[in-house]
Amino acid sequence: MKTAIVTGGAAGLGADIAKVLTDNHYRVGIIDLGADRVERAAAALPGAVGIEADVSSPEQVEAAFAAFGEVPDLLVNNAGIVRFGGLEEQSVQDYIDVLNINLLGSCLCARQVAPGMMSRGSGHIINFTSINGIHPAPGVGLYSGTKAAMANMTQAMSIEWGP
Ligand SMILES: NC(=O)c1ccc[n+]([C@@H]2O[C@H](COP(=O)([O-])OP(=O)(O)OC[C@H]3O[C@@H](n4cnc5c(N)ncnc54)[C@H](O)[C@@H]3O)[C@@H](O)[C@H]2O)c1
Structural domain spans, the chain: 3-161
Distance in angstroms (rounded) separating the CA atoms of residues 32 and 37: 8
Residue 146 Cβ contacting ligand 1 at under 6 Å: no
Question: What residues contact residue 41 under an 8 Å CB cut-off, 6+ apart?
Answer: 9, 10, 11, 15, 18, 30, 32, 48, 50
Would you place residue 148 in the very low, low, confident or very high pLDDT band (cuts 50, 70, 90)? very high
Residue 29: what pLDDT?
A: 98
User: To 10 degrees, the CA torsion angle through 115, 72, 39, 43?
Assistant: 180
3-161, superfamily in CATH?
NAD(P)-binding Rossmann-like Domain (3.40.50.720)
Point out the catalytic residue in the list 8, 64, 143, 153: 143
Residue 52's H or E segment, with its range, is strand 48-52
Q: How far is CA 64 from the centre of its chain?
A: 12
C-beta separation of 78 from 14 below 8 A:
yes
Could you tell me if the CB of 79 is within 6 A of ligand 1? yes
Our answer to whether residue 143 is catalytic in this structure is: yes
Q: Which atom of ligand 1 is nearest to the CA of 101?
A: 31
Q: How confident is the model at residue 158 (pLDDT cuts 50, 70, 90)?
A: very high
Q: How far is the CA of 77 from the centre of ligand 1 (A)?
A: 10
Ligand 1 atom at minimal distance to the Cα of residue 11: 39
What per-residue confidence (pLDDT) applies to 1? 95
Give, using CA atoms, the residue closest to atom 1 of ligand 1: 13
Residue 13 near residue 78, CB atoms below 8 Å: yes
Residues 6+ apart with CB under 8 A from 96: none
Stretch 37-56: mean pLDDT = 98
Q: What is the mean pLDDT of residues 53-67?
A: 98
